[in-house]
Amino acid sequence: MISARTRLDRFISQHTSFSRRDVRLLLAQSRIEVDGVAVSDIQKIVHQFSQISVDGVSIQNNQPRYLMLNKPAGVVSATTDPQHKTVLDIIDAPFRNELHIAGRLDYNTTGLILLTNDGCWSRNLSLPENHIQKHYLVELENPVTAEYAELFAQGIYFEYEQITTAPAQLRVLSERMVELSITDGRYHQVKRMFGRFQNKVLVLHRYGVGNLQLGDLELGQYRELSAAEAGSIHRQD
């Protein structure tokens, strides 16, 4: 499997018994197909999900996979762990070992986890310049005042990293329950933001990332995303 973009002749010579000289001849005879189309360009670039065949025999036939999972508390955001159940342990699919996590949650935090085999897609999720929002429901120990929203909108300075968080949106639902939307993802960020007010987070649940929301997906359940859904996450409407 290709982990990055590479030239077609290089890929075939690395994954078959054909030399790069042989590949040039195969290309000239239109015996190589990429995504169902015969190619002859020696400079052709292919990637992880290019469908590649020689004389009708498949050399690479990977499919991009995008899943959302509603993580229960007590499950680790990891692919392997010697002591605890992981999010990957919940996935019952033959391709699960190809997946990695795109955006983690703490051990006791519940909600939306994204998994994929598409490294480019997951990297784009983490780029600060893409400003992809993560949406949380937060239950707090003490009542929330108007000062919270004002300070969160300005950004909160974290002395340890010497950074200021990006502006966050806070909406009060009840005395101790709020919706919070942030675009960065620092270590224990939500808990530390409320910690500025000495207000303990009792329950933290992520219900959305970008344009994706859990909807009626129950705790411990997962589903595959459509190509349209996977593409929409990078678009902020």
pTM of the shown model = 0.85
Identify the active-site residue in 22, 81, 89, 106.
106
* pLDDT, the chain, mean: 92
Q: Cite the residue boundaries of each domain of the chain with CATH code 3.10.290.10.
A: 6-60
Q: Each residue of 163-213: pLDDT tens digit?
A: 899 999 999 999 999 999 999 988 899 999 999 999 999 999 999 999 999
Q: What percent of the chain has pLDDT over 70?
A: 97
Q: Please state which architecture CATH assigns to domain 133-209.
A: 2-Layer Sandwich (3.30)
Q: Cite the residue boundaries of each domain of the chain with CATH code 3.30.70.580.
A: 63-130+219-227
CATH homologous superfamily, domain 6-60: RNA-binding S4 domain (3.10.290.10)
- Residues 6 or more apart in contact with residue 70 via CB below 8 angstroms: 110, 111, 112, 113, 214, 217, 218, 219, 220, 221, 222
Q: What is the pLDDT of residue 228?
A: 92
Residues 219 and 70 sit within 8 Å (Cβ to Cβ): yes
- Per-residue pLDDT band for 235 (boundaries 50, 70, 90) equals low
Pairing of the two strands 66-71 and 110-116: antiparallel
**Residue scoring higher pLDDT (120 or 205):** 205
CB neighbour class for 47 (10 Å; exposed up to 12, middle 13-18, buried from 19):
middle
- Does residue 15 surpass a pLDDT of 60? yes
Q: What is the pLDDT of residue 236?
A: 52
CA 65 – CA 52 distance, rounded (Å): 18
Class of the domain covering 63-130+219-227: alpha beta
- Per-residue pLDDT band for 3 (boundaries 50, 70, 90) equals low
Give yes or no: 89 in active site.
no
Q: What is the mean pLDDT of residues 3-32?
A: 90
Q: Cite the residue boundaries of each domain of the chain with CATH code 3.30.70.1560.
A: 133-209
Q: What is the pLDDT of residue 237?
A: 47
Q: What is the pLDDT of residue 233?
A: 83
